[in-house]
Amino acid sequence: MNASAILNAREHGDMTAQVEPITASGADSRREASPHILVVDDDPMVRNTVMSMLRAQGFQPQGCSSGAEALQAIEAHTPDLIVLDYTMPGMDGIELCRLLRERRATRLIPIIMITGVLGTEMAVQALESGVTDFLNKPINLAELEARVHAHLRSKFLVDQLEDLENVILAMTKAVEAKDPYTEGHSGRVAELAVRVGEAMGLDEDALRSLRLGGLLHDIGKIAIPDRILQKPDELSEEERHIVSRHAAVSQDICESIHSLTTVADIIRHHHEKMDGSGYPDGLRGDQIALPTRILTTCDIFDSLTTRRPYREPMSAPQACRALDDMARDGQLDPAVTAKVRQAVSKNGDAGSHP
């Protein structure tokens, strides 16, 4: 018997059959590149020792003998990790570190600082300037290996996190694309929420949660049959029952999230209102976390400015007025609605989506 014959196109699939073959360059760009490490030290002895130790571990480090040279090298090719001497003539390690932390492209690169005996004042100054970790002279191979490995690992994990976020974005987009009236909704809400969050001074982790919460806030819909999601009329009793039963999916997802507590909070609580009139838990005021309040407001804004089978979309200014009304009624946080207004007018947002 031939098992392949049993598997028809749908179940074992033609899904990918018509995908274009990957070009050589496409395949290359996806291959894992060796991490790029920069070694910055004016002392050729130390620099060469570190570089040959790194080479022995399979890396191909690049050496620089001054801060100025390092800045040029970084401009040309952003490194994955920098090993940096504390004492250098001209621009010293601390000064270079401060400069790199001010720039968006280099803000998060791990920097390991080479020091002699580490005095307290020097250490505090180094940490404040943005140094990630230290390596004492005389340099020990095992310590260098452990430290480089640890910090590259963090970067690798962050890259993987971004990948998984992109997978979730693609899945969300695909689900929404089946309904022209919701197409792009979660992506737009996530994007607007992050801009509002930035304007309100949220940190990097909170912004990531906001983005992910935006993508996932309507995730319960994934389990609702197309015929109900796309029905233009009022839902029947039975259909409403199916919809609410599938709330279990959101619940499932919230329960599987242990470290991203803000995301779980957003998924569960983005229908809470400041005056306690929302659901499912009737939270009020400060019981609702700021990221969740932001998401709620952005979600309503996007719904109002989107065309539905039974009504025309509002313009952005109209929607902002509606949000202000809800803030005055005590349902939304006025500090958030004000920032949403700024964000959408800055954006030159024309308002309605097709």
Q: Which of residues 146-205 bind its own copies (CB under 8 A)?
A: 146-147, 150-151, 153-154, 156-171, 173-175, 177-178, 181-182
106 vs 337 by CB, closer to its own copies = 337
Q: Are 284 and 276 in contact (CB under 8 A)?
A: yes
- Among 155, 173, 178, 221, the active-site one is 221
Alpha-helical segments (H) within 246-313:
247-256, 261-269, 290-304
Residue 327 to residue 72: CA distance in whole angstroms: 50
Count of helices and strands (H, E) across the chain: 16, 5
Token representation of residue 85: 């001497």
Please identify, among the stretches 37-45, 144-152, 188-196, 287-295, the one whose residues bind its own copies according to the rule CB under 8 A: 144-152
Token representation of residue 297: 């407001």
Residue with the two structure tokens 């191909």: 60
69 vs 222 by CB, closer to its own copies = 222
Give, as ranges, the residues between 202 and 221 that touch its own copies (CB under 8 A): 212, 216, 218-221
4 binds its own copies per the rule CB under 8 A: yes
Token representation of residue 176: 């929404």
Mask: binding to its own copies, 90-109, rule CB under 8 A, as x and -? Answer: --------------------
Please identify, among the stretches 75-83, 88-96, 195-203, 235-243, the one whose residues bind its own copies according to the rule CB under 8 A: 235-243
Annotation marks residue 221 as catalytic = yes
Q: Are 88 and 115 in contact (CB under 8 A)?
A: no
The enclosing H or E element of 132 equals: none
Bridge partner list, 83: 39, 112
Amino acid 316 reads: A
CA 183 to chain centre: 21
Give, as ranges, the residues between 276 and 295 that touch its own copies (CB under 8 A): 279-281
Token representation of residue 277: 């009139």
Please, what is the minimum distance in Å from the beta carbon of residue 88 to its own copies? Answer: 20
Give, as ranges, the residues between 314 and 333 that touch its own copies (CB under 8 A): 319, 322-323, 325-326, 329, 331
Please, what is the minimum distance in Å from the beta carbon of residue 328 to its own copies? Answer: 11
Mask: binding to its own copies, 298-317, rule CB under 8 A, as x and -? Answer: -xx--xx---x--x------
* Residues identified as active-site: 221
